[in-house]
Amino acid sequence: MTVPVLDIHKILKKLPHRYPILLVDRVLEIERGVRIKALKNVTINEPFFMGHFPARPVMPGVLMLEALAQTAALLSFESQGTEPGDDTVVYFVGIDGARFKRPVEPGDQLILEATIERVKAGIHKYKTRASVDGETAVEAELMCTMRKIN
């Protein structure tokens, strides 16, 4: 069994998200300034499965992208060596080339990966991929920015 680099308690300190929108359960690997690998356990208890779809539950693609964005945000905070405060958030600013390759169902372990492509003018661009059992479920380029809020 792999010991997590960040367990759920550390993730809760770094991300403002809470149930039901917190979509990262643990960080498995991190190379500051380069890449991250995290895990989302997909369970039948997820509230979205009641309506998506009752006869054949499938995780919505937009939530897979959100899980990847949260993973990328964790990489940003770790790479910059900053602790987020109540006055700092990471916002999505763009998604390019999103491609959905396979459905994600209850019981799957979604492996979330993000690699920093570049950082320019406060915009972080990531190459991301989510997979189940080594098979790509979704891939996309995500852009995020970190902002102070009042």
Q: Which residues are catalytic?
A: 52
Angle (nearest 5°) at CA 98 between 95 and 100? 150
Cα–Cα distance between 39 and 32 in angstroms, integer?
A: 17
Angle (nearest 5°) at CA 7 between 60 and 28? 70
Cα–Cα distance between 111 and 113 in angstroms, integer?
A: 7
Secondary structure element (H or E) that encloses residue 119, with its range = strand 109-120
